[in-house]
Amino acid sequence: MGGPAPLVPNRYRDRRCGSLRPADIGQQVRLAGWVAAKRDHGGLLFVDLRDPVGPDADLPLEATSASTGPAGAPGTVAQASPTSPASPTSPASPTSPASAARPLGPLARGDHHACTVQLVSHPSDPAFEVLSRLRLESVVSVTGEVVARPPETVNPKLATGEVEVRLASVEVLSSAGVLPFPVEQESDVGEEARLTYRYLDLRRGPLAQRLAKRARFCQLARNHLASRGFLEVQTPVLTVSSPEGARDYLVPSRLYPGEFYALPQAPQQFKQLLMAGGIERYFQIAPCFRDEASRADRSPGEFYQIDIEMAFAEQEDVFREVELLFGELVSKLSTKVATFPFPRVSYADALARYGTDKPDLRFGLEIAELTQVLGGRTELPMFAEAPERGHAIRALAVPGGNERPRSWFDAFGDAAKQAGATGSWLALPPGDGDGGRGTGDAAGTRGTGDGGGKEGGGGPEPRGPLARKLTGGEVAALLEATGAGPGDAVLTCVGPAAGSLPSIPLGQVRAALGRELGLARPDQLAFCWVVDFPMYERNPDTGAWDFSHNPFSMPQGGLEALESKGPGEILAWQYDVVCNGVELSSGAVRNHLPDVMEKAFAIAGYSRERIERSFPALWNAFHYGAPPHAGIAPGVDRLLMLLEDQPNIREVIAFPLNQMARDLLMGAPAPVSAAQLAELHLQVVRPGPGGDGRPPR
RNA sequence: GGACCUGUGGUGCAGCAUGGAGUGCACGCCGGCCUGUCAAGCCGGAGGCCGCGGGUUCAAAUCCCGUCAGGUCCGCCA
């Protein structure tokens, strides 16, 4: 990775504002930047001049090249100590480890405290009048002399806080109008304004810092993958619409009336064609375009993937490469901790134990399976009849759940019902000190039942709808399986075992508890592989079998499995990499065998002709010798969200569209001229009566 | 396609459940004072279609309906 960019002196500047140190005292310097703050005392004017956001590492090191200070230690800041003020001639004053000594390297970029210097001007200066009239965020080039600040005015918050620049001249390079919002780091600004004036938002720092992180991320990924023998290949942005998947962005063709290009939803087919072309290992930081509704973690319009494909590879080969890549990225870009190799959980297990196919493994709180324990063995019909109805019984402990209001349990019941299951609960009053962990002490005795003996001996009595219906032994089994104890609650959910349906409402509660109770360590990255996805799933509306994921995935067991197993039993060589409850990517061992492909598509109701018609390039390519291959495509934006703890994907993108896929800065999308439409053979049909009366922005 | 939250001087918010004069707060802006501040301070001032349109009411920022804009979620994202 390139070294720090040296500052080449020119007519605007010969130093960066943030680089000035006591070692520079006495030097004449020329600085350029933004007016970040003004403190006008009438007879004395202070101006904070701020550097542009520059490449990551250059601020502290640049001082070495420019300064002549002998023991200057440019990367450290000597703290102003009240007893021994910094002497102008001794830059080697003891460096204090205290808070004032900022580690300039990592924080330099975008932190206003690290890239600002104070200018001082008196009314006698010719520059005074000009400068005092300038508004904040005007851009100036100034000259002056670096002087020591009087000891009592040293500002330990600034990297340059021991010095200031005695102003000699000012050249106004660009004067700023009244700002739409403060360009100051801490102020709270609405996102609409930030998107509309993205360049001002960038100047504020944190966003620019995330872009710097993104740049390093991409550079590290490139270097790492190249060193592992992956060839970076760019694939077309104008391609053909594919019949499967998300809605396409279309580009009308001028030359061919009525025909359209499509922007790729992913370079999926191209990368497989590269495999057929004998490119052994491919990668690309690839733009993907999908015209779908957005979410906080899903950008409308375009997003980026580290697209990877490997020939002569199996699942294990992909896993190894991704773990190496992620290891590189996490260790170089983050202080968070991850465990390698990533644990694996099957799709079926993930659903059963976590109620989701993207489990957050930073905490336990697993969903317990109770079908064998309670099914058919209790008088409660919901549980008793579960096995014969093909239902499963699942349960989840709620730490401290006894404190929760009735409405919270009711809401869970509603959620379960909505999912097609039945939820119920019991709660355990806090123990009275004899430390019972609630594991089956009162086996065999009835629960509170008809309200007879309270305080009967073995710990507090449970309450809630289940408490009245289950025997003490059954309650004990419930507690043992879930690990619940005094003061906790237990949620149960019963429903069709297929697809672990009763786990899903419990999984939603589990995820919510993880957030509410702070169960997850914030500095942990709990990666995992979710493997063994089903190849097909039944369409609930039509009853037909659909591909549950990528139709080009190789079925486990190959042709034989397709012919001998029921579609619902067939697994695919399909995997997800998940971190902290976030799906980062899907991948698969691809199906490169035309006869297997034909059979696989037939189960989903596709004829051979339809495959040929829909995917002619791949279909043909696989008839001329294609290697077995596998790949994956981790999302750049989502990975950065995780590394940077950002709740919203727009925070890691320089110029994002808003939720409604509108670019508030550029004004896209926008109408085009009648001439442009005519050239493209297009006519606009406005929806609804009277069209949409939306004014252009 | 659906649900919910939000919309009040340039910015960020309070006010709204229980209608009674745009009463506010912080920042910014304009003017004045001010030689050691660092988010400078002090004094004064300007700036509002309370998103927009309807309705209820003697009276609407406040209640109701619609609509537009921003956000979050469900559907969707092979």
Selection from A695, A688, A635, A697 nearest residue A662 by Cα: A697
Cα gap A310→A113, rounded to integer Å: 46
Write out pLDDT tens, residues A422-466: 999 999 998 754 444 433 333 333 333 333 333 334 456 888 999
Residue A660, CB, less than 7 Å from strand B?
Answer: yes
Selection from A223, A202, A331, A284 nearest residue A2 by Cα: A223
Write out pLDDT tens, residues A607-644: 999 999 999 999 999 999 999 999 999 999 999 999 99
Selection from A573, A630, A627 nearest residue A600 by Cα: A573
Residue A79, CB, less than 7 Å from strand B?
Answer: no
Selection from A195, A193, A172 nearest residue A182 by Cα: A193
Residue A508, CB, less than 7 Å from strand B?
Answer: no
Q: What is the pLDDT of residue A459?
A: 56
Distance A190 CA to B20 C1' (A): 33
CB atoms under 10 Å from CB of A437, counted, come to 14
Distance A46 CA to B40 C1' (A): 9
Selection from A238, A489, A473, A256 nearest residue A374 by Cα: A473
Q: Which amino acid is at A461?
A: E
Cα gap A301→A292, rounded to integer Å: 8
- What percent of chain A is helix, strand and coil (3-state, nearest 5)? 30, 20, 50
Phi, psi at A161, each rounded to 5°: -65, -10
Judged against a pLDDT cut of 80, whether residue A66 lies above it is answered with no
Report the nucleotide nearest the CA of residue A697, measured to C1'.
Answer: B69
Q: What is the pLDDT of residue A54?
A: 67
- Which secondary-structure segment (H or E) carries A330? helix A315-333
Do A577 and A634 meet the contact criterion of CB atoms below 8 Å apart? yes
Do A363 and A334 meet the contact criterion of CB atoms below 8 Å apart? no
Residue A111: strand, helix, or coil: coil
Write out pLDDT tens, residues A112-143: 888 999 999 999 888 899 999 999 999 999 99
Strand ranges for A322-447 from DSSP E: 337-338, 344-346, 368-369, 391-398, 422-427
Note the strand B nucleotides within 7 A of protein beta carbons: 1, 10-13, 27-30, 33-41, 68-78
Residue A192, CB, less than 7 Å from strand B?
Answer: yes
Distance A642 CA to B31 C1' (A): 50
Distance A693 CA to B61 C1' (A): 26
Position A105 confidence tier, pLDDT thresholds 50, 70, 90: very low
A117-156 residues near strand B (Cβ < 7 Å)? 118, 120, 122, 135-136, 149-150, 152-155
Residue A666, CB, less than 7 Å from strand B?
Answer: no
Q: Say what percent of chain A tops pLDDT 70.
A: 85
Selection from A583, A588, A589, A574 nearest residue A527 by Cα: A583
Judged against a pLDDT cut of 70, whether residue A313 lies above it is answered with yes
Selection from A327, A337, A291 nearest residue A525 by Cα: A337
Cα gap A588→A574, rounded to integer Å: 4
Q: What is the pLDDT of residue A98?
A: 32
